[in-house]
Structure 1
Amino acid sequence: MFTGIVQTQAQVAKLQDRDNFRQLTLSVAPEYLQQVALGASIAINGCCLTVVSFTETTVSFDIIDETLRLTNLGALCVGDKVNFERSLKVGDEMGGHYVSGHIHGVGRIVERQQSPDNLALWIEFAPEFAPYVLPKGFISVNGASLTVGQVVGNTFSLHLIPETLRLTNLADADQVNLEFDQQTMTIVNTVERVLAQRGH
């Protein structure tokens, strides 16, 4: 479980690709790997990955076919920056919203609107997820817990403050991993199921 509060950006140091498989090695400042262990969960661009090896300044993960299909991790190149968040521990401050690290799909940034104090992004997503995207609702974008601005069809806007831009890779992204709020999905699906049972 994660909060959607990105801690830092890590850099892709090495990639090893095989059929429907990729091993991803990241370089990251040592303070973000303190007390890490094999099998630990870390969110990379919002996707929950399992640590398979590590050093003082690097950490590696195995990525299999389903994760490569649903996320933007298969498009990473050496030198790219990724958003990095260690898993939530008991007693940690809950600054964002509960994020599982289970990506629903990839969104495409279709417009950027820059102003002196913030950046607005418009993101296109698969139409089947439209019932779960609501103005002022939560969404995880490349692992960052954010509030939806406007919704038009199957696009929505985000307004990013300078601190979010500093900590994350959203300013330069073209495609982003999307995790829709699980509570919203549960409520919408339950209401739709009840209404269908009642013949509405």
Structure 2
Amino acid sequence: MFTGIVEELGELVRRDDTGGDSALVAIRGPVVSSDARHGDSISVNGVCLTVVETDGETFTADVMGETFRRTSLGALRPGDPVNLERAATLGSRLGGHLVQGHVDGVAEIVGRERAEQWETVTFGLPADLARYVVQKGSITVDGVSLTVAGLTAQTFSVGLIPTTLAATTLGRKGVGEPVNLEVDVLAKYVERLLTTGGRLPVDGLEAVA
């Protein structure tokens, strides 16, 4: 579990194909790697990856083909920046919102509008995710917890403060570039409960919620 508060702007160092459509990626991030251990979870552009090895400043992780197909990680090249966050602990401050690191879809940046102190960025909104996005609600974009500032049937927009622009990939990406989206998991659970009449299937049986 994560909070969507990026700890560090890291860098993809290399990608080693391991056969089939999977790969081992090496990511430089001195902050998140400083106390990382084998098996720990680190969010990379909003994707929860499991640490395989570390060397103090860099960690490696296995990425399956399914992850490449369903996220924007497959488009990364060595030298590209990435947003990094270590998994939250029970004692962590919840500065953003509850983020699982399970990407729901990939969208594109469709517009950027600069103001004096901030920037409004607009993203395409996949049709199958539109019902989970609400005005002033939370959404995760490339691992960054953001508040929806504007919403249409096909797009949503957010306001980025100078800190977010400087400390995350969202300040560097241009129109047409892909981003990972994760909607608020609470919305999905509410939908599930409402559409099943409060009864959730469990291993072929039903349990009353």
Q: How many residues align?
A: 194
CA drift of 1:193 comes to 4.2
- The amino acid of 1:54's aligned partner reads T
Say if 2:38 is the partner of 1:20.
Answer: no
Structure 1 vs Structure 2 CA RMSD: 1.4
Q: 5+ residue gaps in structure 2?
A: 198-209
Q: 5+ residue gaps in structure 1?
A: 195-200
Say if 2:191 is the partner of 1:188.
Answer: yes
SS at match of 1:130: helix
Which runs of structure 2 are paired with 1:1-200 in the superposition (5 Å)?
A: 1-17=1-17, 18-29=19-30, 31-173=31-173, 174-194=177-197
Contact 2:106 2:181 in 1 (8 A): yes
Identity of matched residues, %? 37
Q: Where does residue 200 of structure 2 map in the other structure?
A: none
Contact 2:70 2:106 in 1 (8 A): yes
Contact 1:22 1:74 in 2 (8 A): no
**Residues 96-142 of structure 1, C-alpha deviation per residue, up to 9 Å, x if partnerless?**
00000000111110011111211111100220111101100110100
Contact 1:110 1:124 in 2 (8 A): yes
SS at match of 2:52: strand
TM-score, normalization: structure 1? 0.93
Q: Where does residue 198 of structure 1 map in the other structure?
A: none
Q: Where does residue 206 of structure 2 map in the other structure?
A: none
- The amino acid of 2:111's aligned partner reads E
